[in-house]
Amino acid sequence: MTASDHRQPGPAAPGGRQLSRGRLIQAIVEIARTVFGAAAASVFLVDLATGDLVFEAVSGEGEGDLIGRRFPAGTGIAGWVAAYGQPLLVDDTTDSPQFARGAAASTGYVPRSIMAAPLIAAGECLGVVEVLDRGSRLRGELGDVDLLGLLATELGTALELLYAQSPGAGTALGEDTPASSSDALLLQRVAGRLSGAAEPVASTARSLLAMVDDLLARDGVPVGQARG
């Protein structure tokens, strides 16, 4: 299974909680990208089984194909932030051709600056929120690090609350949920909600579903066949 499967609701966990978590994390990356005027913002979660960092949500550059991508523990800036729970801002990364090549090879995008902060819940680092290439610098570096720290604190606290409401859920990483069944549950829930939704929300949702269908078709996935 891929890491992105963990984002799907599974039979063992209440779908509402999983969906809340997904929405929460996606909202944070959207907010982070917007307030910093950044090229991209993303959230990695730590896979407790392996220590890997897994892309959980992305807004902006790379949002199409980074979800579920893994990096070994201790790798790079996000790795240090996850291991030691301190925010970090690195500028001028493109001064180094070597860095640019490494970044491009791993994510397809070469940032000029990286800012990252840990997601801490109950003293544990659950992951990292990262912002690439901030556009607005009105606050200065110190203010930017503080603001990202606040966003990370909010997300960490919200995740802690979510997990507290679902004892035994842990970080939800490592739950072995077959992708096909979790997909089916998600689609079932979407269908149920769509039938009762009012315009223009229903219209927007249908457009998004059509885009999903189109995306899968372009990728060559035939109808009625689950992808391994």
Partner 1 sequence: MTEPPPWRRPPRGHFPGVPAWGAPVDRLPDEDFGVAALGPVTPDWAWGGADGAGARVCVLDSGVDAGHPLVGPVDRMLEVAAGPDGEITVAESASGDTAGHGTACASVIRAVAPKASLSSVRVLTDGKYGAGAALLAGLRWAIEEGFDVINMSLSTTKDKFIPELRELADMAYFRRCILVAAAHNMPVRSFPWPFASVISVASHNGADPMSFYYNPTPPVDFYARGVRVPVAWAGGRQIHTTGNSFAAPHIAAISALVLSKHPMLTPFQLKTVLYLTAGNVARASDTAPRSAENAGGTHDSQ
Mask of contacts with partner 1, 62-91, x by CB under 8 A? ----------xxxxxx-xx--xxxxxxxxx
Q: Read off the tokens for 195.
A: 């039938």
Please say whether the beta carbons of 47 and 70 come within 8 A. Answer: yes
Gap between the terminal Cα atoms of the chain: 8
Of the residues 70, 99, 183, 205, which one makes contact with partner 1 according to CB under 8 A: 99
Residues 31-60 close enough to bind partner 1 by CB under 8 A:
50-51
- Judged by beta carbon, residue 140 or residue 167, the one nearer partner 1 is 140
- Judged by beta carbon, residue 47 or residue 56, the one nearer partner 1 is 47
For residue 50, the minimal CB distance to partner 1 (Å) is 7
Q: Is 190 in the site for partner 1 (CB under 8 A)?
A: no
Q: Is 125 in the site for partner 1 (CB under 8 A)?
A: yes
For residue 11, the minimal CB distance to partner 1 (Å) is 29
Q: Is 25 in the site for partner 1 (CB under 8 A)?
A: no
Distance CA(23)–CA(25), nearest Å, equals 6
Please say whether the beta carbons of 70 and 53 come within 8 A. Answer: yes
Of 37, 34, 72, 36, nearest in space to 54 by CA = 72
For residue 112, the minimal CB distance to partner 1 (Å) is 10
My answer on whether omega of the bond before 11 falls inside 30° of 0, hence cis, is no
How far does Cα 205 stand from its chain's mean position?
21
Helical (H) or strand (E) element with 120? strand 114-121
Binding site for partner 1 (CB under 8 A): 50-51, 72-77, 79-80, 83-93, 95-96, 98-99, 117-118, 120, 123-125, 140-142, 144-146, 149-150, 152-153, 156
